[in-house]
Amino acid sequence: MFSIAVQQQQYKTYILSDEAAGSQLEVVPERGGIITRWRIQGQEIFYLDTERFTHPDLSVRGGNPILFPICGNLPDNTYTHNGQQYTLKQHGFARELPWKVTEQETRDKASLTVVLDSNEQTKAVYPFDFQLAFTYELQGNTLEVRQQYKNLSSTPMPFSAGFHPYFLCGDKTQLEVEIPSKQYQDNQTKEFHSFDGNFDFSRDEIDFAFGQLTSHSATAIDRSRKLKLTLDYDDFSTYLVFWTVKGKEFYCLEPWSATRNSLNTGDNLTVLAPGASHTASVRLTANFF
């Protein structure tokens, strides 16, 4: 049996449940359309800094933030379009703006659709009319995010998009991550390195971008939690970013459609024709063993 309940916490929170599987999803549309929690049999899959979440002026550190219309940051937070310079903060604005709920479904799954429309605030930093519609689907131990990006402008619309999921973890030395790539770029040094499947978790920070992906799936096995996570994605995701900070109980495995600064460089940038739309999907599966 599937259900959707609404609770008024600090924000209106939608709780999607699959009672048979004992899985739950919490979505806070007005805080960036974000999934804040995902539980299976009472076990948290996502990490959430709950204290930070109470401060609307701070970015959310936890759950599954939405990245749009850029992934990562731009040099000096600026880009140029048609000879005009604009300022965009890291990861864009979608994760900070209120989204609205447009559809709910509880027949063969629990699903919730949230929508973000362009407005004067977004057009000041990103001069396009658009609509984003994301559908969160919970079924068993799987969470799928179906995305639709629509260009409502009369000119071509360039963008990149992705997610920044924070996974709760135990002892990071017990983490085994399989990423289908042979090399990464270290965002701190900008240098490229070959990848042998191992991370040095004694580092203060790991911020690696993996390109040239050879498959549509990556996995992370946390032996200390006896949890295997599988991330499946389609052709829209061309990069995976692995990020973690020493001493924090999370790691991030982030599917991005393009790497940093693509709005300036054009690398892997998606450009939608006027009136066109693009659909994509990301699926997360959690298995305890």
> Could you report the per-residue pLDDT of 159-178, keeping only the tens digit for each?
999 999 999 999 999 999 99
* Residue 221 belongs to a domain: no
* Residue 226 belongs to a domain: no
Q: What is the mean pLDDT of residues 104-110?
A: 97
Q: How far apart are CA 280 and CA 248, in angstroms?
A: 31
* Residue 275 belongs to a domain: yes
pLDDT number for residue 178: 97
Q: What is the mean pLDDT of residues 264-269?
A: 96
pLDDT number for residue 233: 98
Q: How far is CA 271 from CA 125, 147, 150, 258, 262, in A?
A: 17, 16, 11, 12, 11
Residue 148: pLDDT band with limits 50, 70, 90: very high
* Residue 229 belongs to a domain: no
pLDDT number for residue 231: 98
Q: Which of 190, 224, 211, 191 lies closest to 254 in space, CA to CA?
A: 211
* Residue 218 belongs to a domain: no
pLDDT number for residue 272: 98
If you average pLDDT over every residue of the chain, what do you get? Answer: 97
Q: What is the mean pLDDT of residues 23-46?
A: 98
Q: How far apart are CA 174 and CA 44, in angstroms?
A: 18
Q: What is the mean pLDDT of residues 199-217?
A: 97
* Residue 240 belongs to a domain: no
pLDDT number for residue 262: 96
* Residue 133 belongs to a domain: yes
Q: How far apart are CA 152 and CA 147, in angstroms?
A: 16
Specify the pTM. 0.97
pLDDT number for residue 155: 97
pLDDT number for residue 207: 98
Q: For residue 151, what is the domain's CATH number?
A: 2.70.98.10
* Residue 242 belongs to a domain: no
Q: Where would I find the beta strands (DSSP E) of 66-106?
A: 66-67, 78-81, 84-87, 100-105
pLDDT number for residue 278: 98
pLDDT number for residue 34: 98
Q: What is the mean pLDDT of residues 57-77?
A: 96
Residue 217: pLDDT band with limits 50, 70, 90: very high
Contacts of 278-281 spanning 24+ positions with Cβ under 8 A: 278/148, 278/149, 278/236, 279/146, 279/147, 279/148, 279/149, 280/146, 280/147, 280/149, 280/161, 280/233, 280/234, 280/236, 280/237, 281/144, 281/145, 281/146, 281/147, 281/233, 281/234
pLDDT number for residue 276: 98
| Enclosing domain of residue 118 | 2-174+248-288
Judging by beta carbons within 10 Å of its beta carbon (0-12, 13-18, 19+), is residue 16 exposed, middle or buried? buried
State phi, psi for 96 to the nearest 5 degrees. -110, -15
**Number of domains the chain is built from:** 1
Q: Where would I find the beta strands (DSSP E) of 97-213?
A: 100-105, 110-117, 130-139, 142-151, 157-159, 162-163, 166-168, 175-178, 183-186, 192-194, 205-210
